Chains A and B, each alone.
Chain A
Amino acid sequence: MQLPARLQQVRVARTAQKRRLICQAGGKVMLEVSDLQAKVADTDKAILKGVNLTICEGESHAIMGQNGSGKSTLSRVLVGDPQYEVTGGSARFQGQDLFDLEPEERARLGLFLSFQSPIAIPGVSNIDFLRLAYNSRQKALGKPEVEPLQFYGHVMPKLDTLHIDPSWLDRSVNEGFSGGERKRNEVLQLAVLEADLAILDEIDSGLDIDALRDVATAVNGLKRGNTATLMVTHYKRLLNYIHPTHVHVMRAGQIILSGGIEVADVLENEGYEGITNLLKKEPALQTT
């Protein structure tokens, strides 16, 4: 009966209030989600049922959970997907109410979502797309926009890190790309845009071992003291490359357990049943 003993060592935050105190000990609060509720706009089906999450600068969070538990919905609601409607709660990012901002304004503020299945945009080249996106962020930051030639200088080193062939730049965004190539392209965009909070929705799915290492190296290379990462994943293998400071478990639209990498160990060894059993034995660990 080692597990409960180990888990007792897990840093558990039971309320958003308490999490904030922990944050203040570390970096500045970047994202603060309180009691977030959301539904699918078309069908009125409630997906998020009171999510609490606080992410501070310098932290890496991982959210794990079964299919349909609301992980991807949470990431999409945060970036403003019109498919979902927020029905309650709040989310503040960099001190601003996220739900007062349009999706493009959120992006310009430094929020980035790497999509689970990135869409193809025929006819728009990667280089044009990247430059447009980069320049909108530059403009928002009050910095000068860059010319095409200058922009190549900015992009080339990022291509090297990700082992991406420069010929990609002239291809249409994600058109004819394999699943793995699309994921790499998402990380290339993240690298170019230098976002403050990167939400990586199943960035590891569809990647082979080498590609996963490349992508993880790139993500780690982008970490700075004032940035943060939120990963949505099913498997611990990603967490072996990108070490999380916090691991959350989501079930039925709520975060039910928060801790360190140990939580991922429990999941890896015993599955979601392990988490259920644990919470039965130690109800005090439940966060909501």
Chain B
Amino acid sequence: MSLACKAGCLHSKSPGSAQLPTRRSFFLAKGFRLKERAAPREARQTYLAAARRSSAHRTYCQSGGGTSVSAREQGVEQADAPPSESAAPPVLPQNGAVSAAVRDSWVGHLLDTWADINASPDTPELLQELHEECGAALQSARMPNTRVESFRFTDVSSIIKSQPQVPEAAEGAARGMLSSHMLREDHELRAVIVDGCLDQGLSNLSGLPDGVYIGSIRDAPEEVVAMRLGAQATTKGTPFTQVNGALAQDVVCIVLPPGAEVTQPLHLLHIASGREQSVSLNSPRLLIILGRDAHLQILEEFCPLDSNQRECYLTNATAEFELAEASSLQHGYVNLESIAAWHVKSTLVNQAARSHYALTEANLGGRISRHDVVISQMGPETETTMRNLQVCGERQVHDLHSSLRLDHPSGRAQQLHKCIVASSTGRGVFDGNVQVNQKAQQTDAAQLSRNLLLAAKGAVFARPNLQIIADDVSCTHGCTVSDLEEDQLFYFTTRGIGAEQARKILVYSFGKEITQGFRYPKLEARLEVAVNDLLSNAGAL
């Protein structure tokens, strides 16, 4: 059940809202910060139970009374949005039980298709709650279209017209991939997630320090996870984040107690299986909770099970990170999905005082990839670093929306975004928002977007933007768009290096400024191959 939906119900005195417990009403009256403060679990469960009982509640949402708040929260402008029924092919509900109440036909199809698997008695209680919460939020949501500002340049209609099915990866099918998907030559700490579910058999999570938990939600420390799971997604996510919450079949939970440090990098290998005739959808979900002064390095890698890259699937991932005081998280993220796939990801981060979050990402795979990074600095002297690379080949759209909010003094933020558009049909989108609010004095923020257009008619939409309210800050931002420099190419040729080879080296070196941040030789080699494939397929060399 989303806050938005609840708020809508509350204010409108509907029959459904009359059943809300009074304690809940008190919190809701305080608005959307409720989730940030993490409502006591009992209250939440009581409320959810009440909502489950209330058939009137669902009917009310369907009638549209509770939509406006939720739509605004999720960046969907109702006024502009055309009826989704016209954008998506009509989907007749199979059993009518769930989808009958849902505004968006694509969401209706998903909720129906996943109804059986979600109702399985094996589903842990925490996950059931997440399903219900997000399922309820989705009742009134609409999936975005190009009239929604944040999706203006990324047309997701092909995703919303698809009719995804539950993935069916054969057990152990991913075993053969492991040796070719290592980070380093030697033993590594690894979690293998196949179609969104942690595969214990393929993972290697031994030798962790005392008190550290890395594993499925099924065995996770319940009291810690219950407070945080879904807490950020309700206020910061997109409709895709809610879809993830409603369909996720597992959550990889990582909990580090105060002072803990995992020295080895953790490799989170996400493997997605496609289906022969239809589209499959996997919903990987990750929750990381770092205690005070805890330190962790992770690398999320997304790749297809089928190396032929022909199968079509949608990966819709969500990650929520909670960083306590003075903790640090080095987050590597590599999208090497199949060229026929769609890849949507939300990364939501809360950073307490003096914590450090560093993101290094490379987006290469998928015909459409969309990454929403939403970071809040929630204490002074907090540091955030983002280094993003997008390589857009033939008919590829890579979209990065990053949003960083600074509300406390002496925060630091660094962002370097680089985009290579190698084909005339490729497109890169970057919207980088940094908000320096009144109390964020002595902020030091820098943002730079550099874009390389290698093909005529290739396009990049870059919008680095800073909103500064504090008056004692040092903030810079910039954006460049260019082809390769003729002078550099000429320099290579005067040393006997052919023009074609020179172009290749220069393009790769442009991206290398980001990829060298991964510091894993085997991964870098994989990326180099992937970049070269993309560029040569696009004819950019």
Contacts and interface: CB of A to CB of B under 8 A. Distances in A.
A166 interface: no
A123 interface: yes
Contacts of A177: none
Contacts of A123: 508-510, 512-513
Chain B: interface size category: 20 to 34
Contact of A189 (B487, B490, B495, B509): B495
A132 B505 contact: yes
A156 interface: no
Interface string A99-135: 0001110111000110100110111100001001100
Given A122-B513, A123-B510, A124-B505, A133 B495 contact: yes
Interface in B504-522: 505-506, 508-510, 512-513
A24 B325 CA distance: 81
Given A103-B490, A115-B491, A119-B491, A193 B496 contact: yes
Contacts, number: 67
Contacts of B509: 121-124, 172
A26 B495 CA distance: 29
A108 B496 contact: yes
A151 B230 CA distance: 55
B474 interface: no
Prevailing SS type, chain B contact patch: helix
Contacts of A21: none
Nearest to B502: A104
Contact of A104 (B488, B496, B510): B496
B487 A119 contact: yes
B436 to A, nearest CB: 29
Contacts of B508: 123
A189 B496 CA distance: 11
In this complex, which of B485, B494, B501, B505 has the most chain A Cβ atoms within 10 angstroms of its Cβ? B494
Interface stretch (A55-63, A78-86, A234-242, A255-263): A78-86
B496 A81 contact: no
Q: In this complex, which of A104, A113, A119, A137 has the most chain B Cβ atoms within 10 angstroms of its Cβ? A: A104
A205 B513 CA distance: 31
A118 B487 CA distance: 10
Contact of A107 (B496, B501, B510, B512): B496
A106 B495 CA distance: 9
A284 B215 CA distance: 92
A22 interface: no
A136 B491 contact: no
B268 to A, nearest CB: 28
Contact of B494 (A79, A121, A124, A140): A79
A136 B506 contact: no
Contacts of B501: 132
A109 B371 CA distance: 49
B490 A133 contact: no
B512 A104 contact: no
B474 to A, nearest CB: 22
Interface string B465-495: 0000000000000000000011110111111
Contact of B490 (A81, A112, A122, A129): A81
Given A122-B513, A123-B513, A104 B498 contact: yes
A119 B488 contact: yes
A268 to B, nearest CB: 31
Contacts of A118: 491
A104 B491 contact: no
A38 to B, nearest CB: 16
Contacts of B499: 102, 104
**Interface-central residue, A79, A108, A136, by most chain B CB under 10 Å:** A136
B505 A113 contact: no
Contacts of B493: 80, 102-104, 107
A107 B491 CA distance: 11
A80 B490 CA distance: 9
A104 B489 CA distance: 11
A82 B487 CA distance: 10
A104 B495 CA distance: 7
B486 A133 contact: no
Contacts of A107: 493-496
Nearest to A102: B493
B497 interface: yes
A260 B98 CA distance: 96
B487 A136 contact: no
A108 B498 CA distance: 10
Interface of B: 485-488, 490-499, 501, 505-506, 508-510, 512-513
28 contacts: A79-B494, A81-B490, A82-B486, A102-B493, A103-B490, A103-B493, A103-B494, A104-B492, A104-B495, A104-B497, A104-B498, A107-B493, A107-B495, A115-B491, A119-B485, A119-B488, A121-B506, A121-B509, A123-B508, A123-B513, A124-B506, A129-B495, A133-B496, A133-B497, A136-B496, A140-B496, A189-B495, A193-B495
Given A82-B486, A102-B499, A124-B509, 11 more contacts: A102-B493, A103-B490, A104-B492, A112-B494, A113-B494, A115-B494, A119-B487, A123-B508, A133-B495, A136-B497, A140-B496
